[in-house]
C-alpha cells in the first residue's frame, strides 16, 4: 500500500526520537496502521545535524515553509515549539490542506482556538497527544475513552521537572534553590527553568485538557498560575506529618457558574495514588460521573515517550486522512458547534481547602483568637498542629488544615489573622485537594 | 441528525447502568458523538423488569434473536454474558450486518478468533472496551494509544473481587476463607465466586489484552491460571516484611520464542504504583519500548463504570459505522492479515523470580544444604529471612527471594529441597515480578 508521507519540522530531542522510533518499529507500526508511515522531509535550521540524525534517503531543508506547501507531504509534524514561527507554519500547513501533528502545548494553549477553527474550515486534522503528559495517552482517554461521562474535574502532575524537585525536597529535606541546581546538573531542569518552575508549562497543559474535558474554548490567559519557587521544605515536612504530600497540580473543575483552571502547589492525601507519583513521572487523575475516578501514569517527557505520542497521532491520522470529516473524532472531543462558552472563574471564586502555617507568640489565648476569626468567616478546621516552642523561643508554629471554602473567604480571614499582634509575619497558605 | 439505533441484549446490572447513563448524559454524549444514540429495543428474559428499567417508549422483548435481525437496529449491545447463547447472538448479529458492542470477556477469550474473523468478513465492528478492566480505557490505550511501541509486557490487577480479598487479608491479617465470606456479605464476591478466586476471570481479560498488545490470536486455553484460594496470610505478612505486596496479576509477556500468558498471585515491590492499588480497584501496567512504563487505574466493575466503557464504544462505532473498513481501527490493534502465530509458552518455560517459604529444623547446616541446591540449579538468592525458632519449637521458617530463573529450574530445585530430611512439608512458592 502507498506509504503516507510525513514532513518533520524540527529534529531536536523529540524530533530525533520520533525519527528513531518510526524507523526501529517500522514493521510493528505498519502492521497496525495498515500502510507504511515514512518521514520524507526534515526541516531544521541545523541542516548538518538533521542530516546526521536522518541519514540518507531523506530530504533535508532549512526552509520549513517549503515543507508545509510541498504537495508530496500528507502530514506535517510540528516539533519546533514556541508560538512564533510555529503558529505561522501550522496555519500555513492547514491552509495547504495538510494534516498536522504537534507536541506544542504553548501554541495550542495560546492559539488553539484559531488553529482548530482553521483546521475545521479546511477539513484537516490537528492531533496533539504529545502536547500533554508526553507518552501517556491522556488526550485519547479524555476525548474518546470517557465520552459517556460528564467529566467533573481533573488534576494532574503534568510537569516532570517540578515533580522531580518536589520529590527531592521531600526525600532530602533540602530547600528549593539547592534542589533546582541539582536538577539542572542532572538534566531534569533546563538552564532557564522559568516555564517549568513558575507553573506556566503545567498551565498550558491543563488548559488543553480543560477544553477537551468540558467542551469549552482554550482560555490560557484566564488560568491562575502559581509555581513552586516559594515553597519551603518546612511545609513539605509539616504536610507529611499530617499525612499529605505537596504536588504541583494542574486542576480543572467544572462548576455550574464556570470552570476552575489553576496550577499551584497542592496538598494531597498520601493515600491517593497520585501522591505516590515520584521523580519526573507524570499522572493525571480524572473524576467523571459514570466511571468515577481513573488515573493515567507514565513518562511526561523525553525523546521516545513523547515520540510515542507523536506516532500514535500519525497512525490515527493515517487511518482517517481520506475519511469524511464526520467519521473523525472532533479535535476537542466535542463537535465544533457544540463548544460551550463557559468562562474561567477568577481565583477568588475557587472553592478548595487550605493548609495554613503561621508563626505566633507562645502564650495563652492566641489559638482562641485565630480560631475565632476562622469561625466568623465560616471556615471550619479539619486538623490542627501546634508545635511546642523550642527552648528560648518566644514564638511557635501553628499549622491548620481547613475544610472547603471560597478563596475570597480564606483571603479575608488570613488578612485578619495577619493583623493580630500575636501573629508574626505572613501566613503561609497552600491549597489542598482531597481528590475524592 | 438521524439517531443511531441500539438494541440492548440483557438489562441486568451493566445493561441497566448503560441505559441510565445514556439517558442521563444524553446531551453530553450527543455533543461528542454528533448524533443521538438511543436504545430502541431491549431484550431480556425478564420482560417485566426490563420494562421497569427502560420505561415507556422502548420496545421490550424476550426474544433476543428478533433484535439481532431487526433491520431498524444499527448496533447490538451484548450484555448477556457467558459463551452459549451469547456466542450465537453475536455471530447472528454480525451475519445480519450489525455492529456489536460487548462486555463479554469469557466469550471473546474463548471464541474471539471466530467472532473477529466473522466481523472482518462481514465488514462490521466488534468493540469490547468493557470486557477488560471495566471503565478504564485500557483497550483503547493498547490498541490506539501505544501504536508506536513494541509492547514488551503488561501486568494487571484485573479482578476486583480478588484484589479486595487480598487487601483485606493484608489489612486485617485474616485467612482467605474468612475474608471471602465478608466479601460475599458486602457484595464484592458472588455467591459462586469460583471464576474470580480461581483466576479464570483475570485469565479471560489478560488473554484479550495479550492479543491486542502483541498481535497474536486469543489463546485462552494455553494460559496458566492460578487463583488465590491457597494463599496464606503468613505469606502476605512475610512479603510485607521484605517490602512486597502480593497481588493477583494477569501477566502477558512477549518473548522471542513465544508469549507468556499467566495469572497467579505475585509479589510486587511495594514502591511500584500498582502495589498501592487497593480494594476492588483495577490497574494495568504496560511496558513498551518507546514510552517506557505506563499505568491505567480505575474501577474495574460495577454498573456505571462498565457502562462508561460500553458507551465509549457506542460513540466510536457511531462515528465510523458508515466509514470504509480501512478507516477503522483494526479490532485487535493489528491489521487482520498481520496477526502473528506466536504460541503461548508452557508455564515451565516462564522466566520469573520466586518467593520461597520452607519449614526447617532449627539446627546448623540446614541453610547450607538449601543454598547449595539453589546454587547447583543456578538460582541466585536476592534476599533471605530466617526466623528465630519460637520457644519450645524445633522448627523455624526460612523465606527466600530468588533472582530470575526458568520455572523448570525452580521446580527441580524445590523438589530437591523438599526431599531434604531437615525440611518439613512442602515448600510454599509464589512468583515475584519486579515490574521494572
Structural domain contains residue A346 = no
- Record: contact B319-A334, CB cut-off 8 A: no
ipTM of the complex: 0.97
Q: Identify the pLDDT of residue A321.
A: 84
Structural domain contains residue B18 = yes
- Residue recorded with cell 472482518: B120
Q: Identify the pLDDT of residue B389.
A: 86
How many C-beta neighbours within 10 Å does residue A368 have? Answer: 8
pLDDT tens, residue by residue, A224-243: 999 999 999 999 999 999 99
Percent of chain B with pLDDT over 70: 100
Residues 392-421 of B with CB under 8 A from A: none
pLDDT band at residue A346 using 50, 70 and 90 as cut-offs: very high
Q: How many domains does chain B have?
A: 3
Residue A37: beta bridge partners? A4
Q: Is the pLDDT of residue A46 over 80?
A: yes
Structural domain contains residue A217 = yes
- Record: contact A141-B140, CB cut-off 8 A: yes
Residues A57 and A84 in one domain: yes
User: How close is the nearest chain B Cα to the Cα of A97, in Å?
Assistant: 19
Residues B284 and B308 in one domain: no
Structural domain contains residue A345 = no
Q: What are phi and psi of B174, to 5 degrees?
A: -95, 155
Q: Residue B209: which CATH number?
A: 3.30.360.10
Q: Residue B404: which CATH number?
A: 3.30.70.260
Residues 111-140 of B with CB under 8 A from A: 129, 134-137, 140
Contact call for residues B414 and B335 (beta carbons, < 8 A): no
Q: Identify the pLDDT of residue A326.
A: 82
pLDDT tens, residue by residue, B275-324: 999 999 999 999 999 999 999 999 999 999 999 999 999 999 999 888 88
pLDDT tens, residue by residue, B48-87: 999 999 999 999 999 999 999 999 999 999 999 999 999 9
> How far apart, in whole angstroms, are the C-alpha atoms of residue A138 and residue A159?
14
pLDDT band at residue B47 using 50, 70 and 90 as cut-offs: very high
A375 has a chain B CB within 8 A of its CB: no
Which residues in B lie closer than 8 A to residue A327 (C-beta atoms)?
319-320, 322-323, 327
A164, three cell numbers: 522531580
Q: Is the pLDDT of residue B24 over 80?
A: yes
Q: Average per-residue pLDDT in chain B?
A: 96
Contact call for residues B298 and B282 (beta carbons, < 8 A): yes
Structural domain contains residue A35 = yes
Q: Average per-residue pLDDT in chain A?
A: 96
> How far apart, in whole angstroms, are the C-alpha atoms of residue A384 and residue A75?
57
Residues B180 and B225 in one domain: yes
Task: Using DSSP bridges, classify how beta strands B258-269 and B244-255 pair: parallel, antiparallel or unpaired.
Answer: antiparallel
Contact call for residues B261 and B207 (beta carbons, < 8 A): yes
Q: Is the pLDDT of residue B387 over 90?
A: no
Residues B154 and B287 in one domain: yes
Out of A297, A320, A324, the one facing B294 most closely (by C-beta) is A297
Buried b (16+ CB within 10 A) or exposed e, B11-33: bbebbbbbbebbeebeebbbbbb
pLDDT tens, residue by residue, A374-425: 999 999 999 999 988 888 899 999 999 999 999 999 999 999 999 999 999 9
Structural domain contains residue A344 = no
Residues 189-218 of A with CB under 8 A from B: 215
Segment A48-69 shows an average pLDDT of 96
B144 has a chain A CB within 8 A of its CB: yes
> How far apart, in whole angstroms, are the C-alpha atoms of residue B81 and residue A292?
24
Q: Is the pLDDT of residue B390 over 90?
A: no
Q: What are phi and psi of A148, to 5 degrees?
A: -75, -15
Which residues, in sequence order, are CB contacts of B391 under 8 Å at separation 6+?
none
> How far apart, in whole angstroms, are the C-alpha atoms of residue B428 and residue A157?
41
Segment A209-227 shows an average pLDDT of 97
Q: Which of A98, A205, A247, A299 is catalytic?
A: A205
Structural domain contains residue B346 = no
Q: Identify the pLDDT of residue A199.
A: 98
Segment B218-224 shows an average pLDDT of 98
- Record: contact A310-B148, CB cut-off 8 A: yes
Q: Identify the pLDDT of residue A387.
A: 84
Helix axes A13-24, A303-320, angle to 10 degrees: 60
Residues B68 and B161 in one domain: no
The last residue of one of the domains, among A291, A311, A338, is A338
Segment A163-171 shows an average pLDDT of 97
For this structure, is B205 an active site residue?
A: yes
Structural domain contains residue A15 = yes
Residues A169 and A290 in one domain: yes
| CA trace torsion A343, A213, A91, B316 (10° rounding) | -140
Percent of chain B with pLDDT over 90: 94
Q: Residue B314: which CATH number?
A: 3.40.50.720
Segment A339-345 shows an average pLDDT of 94
Out of B137, B141, B291, the one facing A146 most closely (by C-beta) is B137
Residues B256 and B315 in one domain: no
pLDDT band at residue B325 using 50, 70 and 90 as cut-offs: confident
Which residues, in sequence order, are CB contacts of B181 under 8 Å at separation 6+?
none
Q: Is the pLDDT of residue A308 over 90?
A: yes
B290 has a chain A CB within 8 A of its CB: yes
Q: Which of A146, A294, A309, A318 to substitute to test the interface with B, most B CBs within 10 Å?
A: A294
Residue A107: beta bridge partners? none
Q: Identify the pLDDT of residue A373.
A: 97
- Record: contact A295-B298, CB cut-off 8 A: yes
Nearest-by-CA chain A residue for B292: A305
Domain that holds residue B428: 352-432
Q: Identify the pLDDT of residue B324.
A: 83
Residues B236 and B292 in one domain: yes
Contact call for residues A244 and A382 (beta carbons, < 8 A): no
Lowest-confidence segment of A320-329, A356-365, B159-168, B388-397 by average pLDDT: A320-329
pLDDT band at residue A327 using 50, 70 and 90 as cut-offs: confident
Residues A372 and A423 in one domain: yes
Sign of the dihedral defined by the CA atoms of residues B190, B191, B195, B197, in that order: positive
pLDDT tens, residue by residue, B169-189: 999 999 999 999 999 999 899
Which residues, in sequence order, are CB contacts of A107 under 8 Å at separation 6+?
A78, A81, A82, A83, A86, A87, A90, A115
> How far apart, in whole angstroms, are the C-alpha atoms of residue A175 and residue A29?
45
pLDDT band at residue A143 using 50, 70 and 90 as cut-offs: very high
Segment B219-223 shows an average pLDDT of 98
Residues B28 and B165 in one domain: no
- Record: contact A149-B25, CB cut-off 8 A: yes
Residues A324 and A274 in one domain: no
Size of interface A-B (CB pairs under 8 A): 218
Q: Is the pLDDT of residue A1 over 90?
A: no
Residues A147 and A295 in one domain: yes
Helix axes B26-33, B303-320, angle to 10 degrees: 30
User: B15 labelled as ligand-binding?
Assistant: yes
B72 has a chain A CB within 8 A of its CB: no
Q: Which of A129, A290, A301 to substitute to test the interface with B, most B CBs within 10 Å?
A: A290
Task: Using DSSP bridges, classify how beta strands B224-225 and B151-157 pair: parallel, antiparallel or unpaired.
Answer: unpaired
Amino acid at each position: 500500500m502507498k506509504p503516507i508521507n510525513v514532513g518533520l519540522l524540527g529534529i531536536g530531542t523529540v524530533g530525533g526520537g520520533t525519527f528513531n522510533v518510526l524507523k526501529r518499529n517500522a514493521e510493528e507500526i505498519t502492521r497496525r496502521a495498515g500502510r507504511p508511515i515514512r518521514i520524507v522531509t526534515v526541516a531544521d535550521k541545523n541542516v548538518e545535524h538533521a542530516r546526521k540524525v536522518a541519514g540518507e534517503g531523506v530530504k533535508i531543508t532549512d526552509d520549513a515553509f517549503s515543507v508545509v506547501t510541498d504537495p508530496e507531504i500528507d502530514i506535517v509534524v510540528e516539533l519546533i515549539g514556541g508560538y512564533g514561527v510555529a503558529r505561522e507554519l501550522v496555519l500555513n500547513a492547514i491552509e495547504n490542506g495538510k494534516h498536522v501533528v504537534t507536541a506544542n502545548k504553548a501554541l495550542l494553549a495560546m492559539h488553539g482556538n484559531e488553529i482548530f477553527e482553521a483546521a475545521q474550515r479546511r477539513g484537516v486534522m490537528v492531533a496533539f497527544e504529545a502536547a500533554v503528559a508526553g507518552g501517556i495517552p491522556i488526550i485519547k482517554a479524555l476525548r474518546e475513552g470517557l465520552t459517556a461521562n460528564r467529566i467533573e474535574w481533573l488534576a494532574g502532575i503534568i510537569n516532570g521537572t517540578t515533580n522531580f524537585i518536589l520529590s527531592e525536597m521531600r526525600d532530602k529535606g533540602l530547600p528549593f534553590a539547592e534542589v533546582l541546581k541539582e536538577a539542572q546538573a542532572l538534566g531534569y531542569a533546563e538552564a532557564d527553568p522559568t516555564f517549568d518552575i513558575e507553573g506556566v508549562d503545567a498551565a498550558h497543559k491543563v488548559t488543553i485538557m480543560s477544553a477537551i474535558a468540558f467542551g469549552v474554548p482554550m482560555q490560557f490567559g484566564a488560568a491562575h498560575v502559581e509555581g513552586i519557587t516559594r515553597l519551603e521544605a518546612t511545609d513539605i515536612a509539616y504536610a507529611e506529618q499530617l499525612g499529605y504530600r505537596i504536588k504541583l497540580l494542574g486542576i480543572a473543575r467544572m462548576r455550574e457558574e464556570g470552570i476552575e483552571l489553576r496550577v499551584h502547589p497542592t496538598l494531597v492525601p498520601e493515600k491517593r495514588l497520585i501522591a505516590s507519583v515520584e521523580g519526573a513521572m507524570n499522572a493525571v487523575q480524572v473524576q467523571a460521573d459514570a466511571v468515577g475516578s481513573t488515573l493515567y501514569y507514565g513518562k511526561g517527557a523525553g525523546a521516545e515517550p513523547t515520540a510515542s505520542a507523536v506516532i500514535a497521532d500519525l497512525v490515527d491520522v493515517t487511518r482517517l486522512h481520506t475519511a469524511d470529516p464526520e467519521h473523525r473524532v472532533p479535535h476537542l472531543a466535542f463537535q465544533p458547534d457544540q463548544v460551550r462558552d463557559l468562562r474561567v472563574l477568577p481565583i477568588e471564586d475557587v472553592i478548595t481547602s487550605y493548609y495554613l502555617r503561621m508563626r505566633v507568640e507562645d502564650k495563652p489565648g492566641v489559638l482562641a483568637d485565630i480560631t475565632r476569626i476562622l469561625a466568623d468567616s465560616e471556615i471550619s478546621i479539619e486538623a490542627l498542629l501546634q508545635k511546642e516552642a523550642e527552648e528560648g523561643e518566644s514564638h511557635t508554629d501553628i499549622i491548620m488544615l481547613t475544610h472547603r471554602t471560597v478563596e475570597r473567604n480564606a483571603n479575608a480571614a488570613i488578612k485578619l489573622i495577619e493583623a493580630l499582634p500575636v501573629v508574626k509575619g505572613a501566613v503561609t497558605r497552600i491549597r489542598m485537594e482531597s481528590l475524592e
